Amino acid sequence: MGVSTDAIICYGISYEEGYKFPWDHKNNIEEWWIDDVLGFIPSIQIYDSEGNHLPKVTEEQINQYWEERRDFKDKYPLPVELVRHCSWGYPMFIVAVPSTVIYAHRGYPKELNPRHFDLSNHNIQSFIDFCKKHNIYEEDPKWWLCSFWEN
């Protein structure tokens, strides 16, 4: 078992450990976005209210459900990326503009192009609108360099 460390650079808003996000009840920002915010309703139900597979669901129906979900997600992409940093045991988060996030994994350096830091190349307004609408606009976004230790 080894230890991996990653470097991450992104443009967004950093939050203190333990910050309560509106998607915390789902433990998954994308599920919250698709189900709670956008109200995705598939043409076929494969799960009951407890999250268990319904009886007599076929493999074809399961594939159809997940294909519809992928298509919906592609049509209405999440306008932010949740960046986990620090470590698995002590997670901290940055809500970032997706197109600004760059990861460099241990042993695999990334070349940085100065044009990447030109904010006119990124959709900052939809990021800000999202953060304000969901009451997580704590401060103006900025560039962050952080690390993640996979222990």
Cα gap 59→124, rounded to integer Å: 41
**Of residues 51 and 86, which shows the higher confidence score?**
86
- CB atoms under 10 Å from CB of 106, counted, come to 14
Q: Does some domain include residue 33?
A: no
Arithmetic mean of pLDDT over the chain: 92
What is the tally of structural domains in the chain?
A: 2
Verify that 53 and 96 share a domain, yes or no.
Answer: no
Q: Are residues 83 and 15 in the same domain?
A: yes
Distance of alpha carbon 151 from alpha carbon 145, whole angstroms: 20
In this structure, the answer to whether residues 88 and 133 fall within a common structural domain is yes
Q: Confirm whether 32 is domain-assigned.
A: no
User: What's the pTM value of the predicted model, to 2 decimals?
Assistant: 0.86
Clarify whether residues 85 and 144 are in a common domain: yes
Range of the domain at 70: 39-75
> Residues 34-75: pLDDT tens digits?
999 999 999 999 988 888 889 988 999 999 999 999 999 999
Q: Is the pLDDT of residue 2 over 70?
A: no
Answer yes or no: is 139 within a domain: yes
As beta bridge partners, residue 83 has 94
Please indicate, yes or no, if residue 114 is contained in any of the structural domains.
yes
Does 19 lie in the same domain as 83? yes
User: Are residues 134 and 99 located together in one domain of the fold?
Assistant: yes
Domain-embedded: residue 123: yes
Please report where in the chains the tokens 């709670």 appear, as a residue: 36
Q: Which runs of E-coded beta strand occur in 1-151? A: 4-15, 81-87, 91-96, 102-105, 142-150
- Looking at the fold, whether 12 and 58 belong to one and the same domain comes out as no
Check whether residue 90 and residue 144 sit in a common domain: yes
Do 85 and 68 have their domain in common? no
Query: Which segments of 13-150 does DSSP mark as H helices, in order?
Result: 29-31, 59-75, 124-133
pLDDT digits (tens, 9 = 90+) for 5-39: 899 999 999 999 889 999 999 879 999 999 999 99
